[in-house]
Structure 1
């Protein structure tokens, strides 16, 4: 084998090692996404990833639970997500995960499928954060066997009076 071919093979091998080392594992991706949501959301809104599903839980507060209200839980199978829509406002950053057909559901009503699952973050973020979260969510879907594309939308303008 000539020297140029050996250099090429060595370079390709080295590049594959760097790429493999820099790719986030499933656990790392889960942890980063969930850490961001924990740091940016009120305590009554939580997220988790389990059994291949992204899940949210909204607690209505102590007063509501004393009256018999239970937390609202929603889920979406990550391997079915095909589109992630991003909306950013002054007050929140919202990611809408959707599938080719309704696949999100209330945990208490699994047969009632809905169009999308909302992953929301209620804190101002730096300019680069939405792209980083986009990348993480796309990677999360890929790690669970899905293929999604990201779409950025504009938030509705504030009314002026």
Structure 2
């Protein structure tokens, strides 16, 4: 009787649909539905290696603070892509406050305005998701210091401008 129970349990575990999906690649957004803070559409053929994803103000603030000291080259050249779901932001706030602030930044932020392109992505309340788009791990950050350490590992430290740098 015990062997029958164990055999039944194994067959249920092996046939469960979650087992198959857990080994698959994590979902990626529909990049073609995104545009950056300047209104430019995603260029077909771009394939980022890593994806930073935020969907709330807390995660956005944490990521922006970490980006203040990390090198933005990895964002500008597309190795790392910053994607923000701004579908929950009121349109007036987005147009009058958020987008003008984003346009002052020297790196692209890819925006999902209606939430459809990023609906399948994992979420981290008041945090940041870092995902390898080639099928790797999904990392969740709710601590700014840990996020900063990971960004410095991926992108390096920002180089001080020559005019303000001291020898």
Compute the TM-score of the two structures, normalised by the length of structure 2.
Answer: 0.36
Whichever structure has more strand as a proportion of its residues is: 1
